[in-house]
Amino acid sequence: MKSFISIIFLSILLICSACTDENKTNNGGITGCYDGVPLTVRAIATDFENPSGSGQPSTRVAVKDGHLKTEFIDGDSIGIFAVKDGEIIDNVDNTPLIFDTSSGSWSPVKDGKTLYWYDGVSYVAYYPYKENITINTNALKNINEVIASLTENEKLQPAKDQSTAEKHTASDLMIAIGVLDISNSSKIILSLQFQHQFTLLVLQPQAYVGCFPPKDASFVYHKESRILGTDSATTNVALNGITAYRIDSMKYCAIVTPQQDAKITGNYTTTNGRDNKEAKINYSGSTTTFASGKCYTLKVISPVPGKGSTERGLYPGDFIFQNDNEKRIEVHPGDGLLEENGKIFDYENAIGMVITCNPDKMTDKGCSDNGWTHAYVMKLDSIGLGRWGQPGIDEEIKNVPKTTQIKEYMDGYSDTKTIIEAYGNGSNFKSIYTAFYIIQQLQEKEQDKIPQKDGLPIRSPWFLPSIGQLIDLLVNICDYDPTAYGWDNYYDGYGQITLDAYNAQLAKVDKKSNHLHESRRILTSSTEYSNNANWILIWGFLKEEGEVPWDRIGIKFFNKDAYANYLIYPFFAF
């Protein structure tokens, strides 16, 4: 038996006495009932709880492993004591009750003792039952001392070897103080709510393991691509001096006694996934207090890569490589293993970062018609500065006013293509449509460098992103959705935190966001707001003495020719 999930069990013991009106003794408020009425016993085993922290309430441990549920089997036993005025009553002294799965009830052992109700008697029970458990005579006058006598009993202490379910379960001491329900004189109920007296420790060994793409994906994973997963090669786990019990999810558990100034410590053995050599991992958590009935979990990330591999799709923040020899797109997980220098393997050759890969948002028809339906990818560097276009001209692309769902507008490729086709040969293209001109120059420079497979390019040319694609940069990389905060031009208090998140991801490939000057970073989009304005993404900072400081992030529309110097971060699709 183990008790993460609450279970209720019922024992109806042999009823062999009756109530009459002749008895007038004080029976705790019940009248007309003899001492010695047989008891109906109900018991509840509580869950372990995660310790509260940061002002949050304690929570039940969420466990999917069947091993850790409260499930009683034939032969499980509890021991019970009846105490009154410092004495054991009716020889109910470590009396065992045994569970019968066929009936779902608890019964005395063969030729065992039936429990009866007596006025003023306290009932104390414990699990798991063991023979020859006694309560210190001096403790019988106080229930708390009765409990202490049990928790300090050497025979009930956690075992050093808890490597099997049976040994682990036998270490989980639970104690209950009986509560009597005497509202029905013909059926007195003794309720036992068992509480864990010791502490549960859980170790979750993790390692960076290899990954492979889903079937029919048009990409592969770059060499040395590893993601954090279960360390399936873990063996010989020592958890706070205890040989731990392993459950199917590759977690390891141990029951220990409560203590102050404690920490989860130990070691285990694993296998290095690169050279197949054995490695010993030592671990230690932070200092805390191990409280009874609480569960403390430590996740340990192995310093050596793990064995095995797992299927993995695309995620925002993944880094993209273009393998010209193999004519394919390769991916390195954005949350994957970093080298000792804090960067991904082969970071110098990464060409972009996945911004959008939700199939529902891959809606640019110009991309989907060419089979580029996996992701929109952002270049790791800006390629220059440039104005959007000519004010007063309503271009042959869709106007996207703020009343529409601009974060769903993903037509960066198609709109870029339309503008370049309309003005690319014009004499003022470079001076008026500077941003698109710079994109055009990049496209022409790389037009022969995009590998083709089966006669089709494996990815799109670079394009100026739509406003929806820039919003996805904030949502998916910076964990901030500007459309959720109304439509003021700026949103104070989120500038630095979002920029830091963006730069933290770029740092994995030794990059950092560019800026116009120290106080602002403005990224232009291909999306037209009206004949006079286009959409931009802007970070704004101001720390001048005497001025109200800025810490802003915003999505806004602005004059097409304003400043003429917005950052150009190209995207491509594959």
| pLDDT attached to residue 22 | 33
Three-state SS at 141: coil
Residue 413 reports pLDDT greater than 80 = yes
| pLDDT attached to residue 219 | 94
Domain count, the chain: 3
Q: Which of 168, 197, 226 is the endpoint of a domain? A: 197
Q: Are residues 123 and 141 in the same domain?
A: yes
Burial annotation 119-152 (CB, 10 A radius, 16+ → b, else e): bebbbbbbbbbbeebebeeebbeeeeebbbbbbe
And the tokens for 509? 């490939």
Residue 198 reports pLDDT greater than 60 = yes
Residue 333 lies in a domain: no
Q: Are residues 388 and 452 in the same domain?
A: yes
| 253 against 55, higher pLDDT | 253
Q: Which of 197, 230, 251 is the endpoint of a domain? A: 197
Specify which of 50-64, 236-250, 538-552 reaches the highest per-range mean pLDDT: 236-250
| pLDDT attached to residue 540 | 84
pLDDT tens per residue, range 415-434: 999 999 999 999 999 999 99
pLDDT tens per residue, range 455-513: 899 999 999 999 999 999 999 999 998 887 665 555 567 889 999 999 999 999 999 99
pLDDT tens per residue, range 91-130: 999 999 887 777 666 778 877 788 888 888 999 999 999 9
| 238 against 547, higher pLDDT | 238
Residue 336 lies in a domain: no
pLDDT bin (cut points 50, 70, 90) of residue 535 is very high
Q: Are residues 483 and 506 in the same domain?
A: yes
Q: Are residues 533 and 441 in the same domain?
A: yes
| pLDDT attached to residue 357 | 98
Residue 389 lies in a domain: yes
pLDDT bin (cut points 50, 70, 90) of residue 436 is very high
Q: Are residues 380 and 481 in the same domain?
A: yes
Burial, 479: exposed, middle or buried (Cβ in 10 Å; 0-12, 13-18, 19+)? exposed
Q: Which of 163, 182, 197 is the endpoint of a domain? A: 197
| pLDDT attached to residue 1 | 57
Residue 11 reports pLDDT greater than 90 = no
Strand partners, 271: 278
Residue 282 lies in a domain: yes
pLDDT bin (cut points 50, 70, 90) of residue 562 is low
Residue 331 lies in a domain: no
| pLDDT attached to residue 26 | 33
Average model confidence (pLDDT) across the chain = 86
Q: Are residues 74 and 176 in the same domain?
A: yes
CATH of the domain at 25: 2.60.40.2620
Residue 17 reports pLDDT greater than 70 = no
Average of pLDDT values for 2-8? 33
Is the distance from CB of 190 to CB of 39 less than 8 angstroms?
yes
Residue 316 lies in a domain: no
Q: Are residues 187 and 67 in the same domain?
A: yes
H or E element at residue 332: strand 328-332
Residue 399 DSSP label: B
Structural domain range at position 123: 7-197
pLDDT tens per residue, range 259-290: 999 999 999 999 998 899 999 999 999 999 99
| pLDDT attached to residue 76 | 82
Residue 343 lies in a domain: no
